[in-house]
């Protein structure tokens, strides 16, 4: 089954805010970039590298809500390993 998820406007706004911030970590910016690149692209999926960074952003207690929103969106658009094996 094909992936049909795209980034919603609220998550895209958060990702844009993260990318414009000077104090945001590179991991947060990677996740935000992945999120924004999938705004109107249902066939794009988050890479393994970006998903790993997004996961660490979500686990970090010092991360801003905007960064967590972008990271969560990026992770939700990662193709699951179960569906890859079929």
**pLDDT classification of 78: cutoffs 50, 70, 90:** confident
**Residue pLDDT, tens place only, 31-58:** 999 999 998 888 888 999 999 999 999 9
Q: Could you give the CA distance from residue 23 to residue 38 in angstroms, rounded to a whole number?
A: 24
When pLDDT is averaged across residues 17-27 and rounded to a whole number, the result is 94
Q: Could you tell me if residue 65 is left (phi over 0), alpha (psi between -120 and 50 degrees) or otherwise beta?
A: alpha
- Count up the domains in the chain and report the number: 1
**pLDDT classification of 3: cutoffs 50, 70, 90:** low
Q: Could you give the CA distance from residue 5 to residue 27 in angstroms, rounded to a whole number?
A: 22
Are the CB atoms for 75 and 46 separated by under 8 Å? yes
Range of the domain at 68: 9-37+48-77
| Residue 60, domain member (yes or no) | yes
According to DSSP, residue 44 is labeled -
The confidence score (pLDDT) of residue 2 equals: 56
| Residue 55, domain member (yes or no) | yes
């Amino acid at each position: 089954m094909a992936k049909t998820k795209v980034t919603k406007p609220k998550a895209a706004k958060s990702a844009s805010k993260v990318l414009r911030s000077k104090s945001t970590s590179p991991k947060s910016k990677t996740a935000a970039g992945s999120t924004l690149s999938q705004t109107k692209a249902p066939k794009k999926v988050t890479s393994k590298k970006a998903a790993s960074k997004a996961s660490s952003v979500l686990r970090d207690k010092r991360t801003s809500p905007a960064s967590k929103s972008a990271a969560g969106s990026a992770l939700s658009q990662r193709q699951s390993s179960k569906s890859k094996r079929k």
